[in-house]
Amino acid sequence: MKSWRWVLAGVWLMLAACAPEPLISMGAAAESEEVAAVMLTEENDGDEIALRVGQEVHVLLTGNLTTGYTWETRDVDAARLHLTGEPEYTAASDALGSGGTFNFTFTAVAPGETELTLIYHRSFEQDVPPKRTFSVKVVIEG
């Protein structure tokens, strides 16, 4: 029975060691407050979203790389909303020809408004309209 007390005490100490430092003032609390990332999908097409400077937005769009189609950023003010890294593609399964999800990550870097538009197209096809588009209005607060 006593060994369980030591195990629980050890777990509690490990959790306490991992906890963030206590904040001294309310001002410090407001500055260090983390804002959750915003997740968007095709269902958000046409929406208006609000972000704070430093906040991330993930745009998850379905597609199929094996068909030659890909999602690509068409319109965005990079001075306000910056694409972070390269878009990632995750196949839905290991099956040959399987579709999947494209994941774009953007970070709000300056206050203001911008339109974020992505197109689903084959880059090698000239003068062909995109098969699909995704667009949201982004309002960034300081």
Average pLDDT value for the chain: 83
Domains and CATH numbers, the chain: 35-141 (2.60.40.2020)
pTM score: 0.74
Query: What's the distance, CA 13 to chain centroid?
Result: 34
Owner of token pair 């097409």: 45
Which H or E run includes 15?
Answer: helix 2-18
**What's the pLDDT tens digit per position in 64-110?**
999 999 999 999 999 999 999 999 999 999 999 999 999 999 999 99
Write the pLDDT tens digit of every residue in 16-40: 444 444 333 334 444 446 789 999 9
**The one-letter amino acid at 40:** L
DSSP string, 116-140: EEEEEE-TT-TT---SEEEEEEEEE
Q: The tokens of 109 are what?
A: 């870097």
| CA-based nearest residue to 46, from 136, 125, 117 | 136
Query: Collapsing DSSP states into helix, strand and coil, what is residue 26?
Result: helix
* Between 12 and 67, the higher pLDDT residue: 67
DSSP letter for 55, please.
-
For residue 107, the SS3 value is strand
Nearest 5°: the CA angle 21, 23, 27 is 150
Stated length of the chain: 142
Question: What percent of the chain shows pLDDT beyond 70?
Answer: 77
